[in-house]
Amino acid sequence: MNKEKSVVVNGRNYRWPNQPLVVVCIDGSEPSYIEQAIASGHMPFLFKALKKGADLRADCVISSFTNPNNVSIVTGVPPVIYGILNHSV
């Protein structure tokens, strides 16, 4: 029996990808800035990558700070679960 590989993350079962996977997170940018840069020819790699890949956009967790957002991307859960919150120093 050929059993598909899988991985469990935060109680969810995910099928292991059949090919390498790259995730690009552009932090602190308005999507229209990226769209304009691609349209004007300033981001040729991203233009090519988007033609062959996917453009999936995510809303940030509140509040909008890099560390909590990156941890939410990696873990798939909100800050209340993993405890990295925004605390101004």
pLDDT for 87: 58
Closest by Cα among 50, 46, 53 to 17:
53
In a domain, 43, yes or no: no
In a domain, 18, yes or no: no
3-class DSSP state of 71: helix
In a domain, 74, yes or no: yes
pLDDT for 1: 43
Q: How many domains does the chain have?
A: 1
pLDDT for 72: 82
**CA–CA–CA angle 40, 46, 52 (5° rounding):** 120
Q: Is the pTM of this model over 0.95?
A: no
Q: Is the peptide bond before 63 cis (omega within 30 degrees of 0)?
A: yes
In a domain, 33, yes or no: no
Which residue type, as a one-letter code, is found at position 10?
N
Tell me the residue range of the domain where 89 lies: 58-89
Mean pLDDT by 10 residues, the chain (89 residues): 73 85 78 92 92 79 74 82 70
Distance, CA of 29 to CA of 72 (rounded, Å): 18
pLDDT for 84: 77
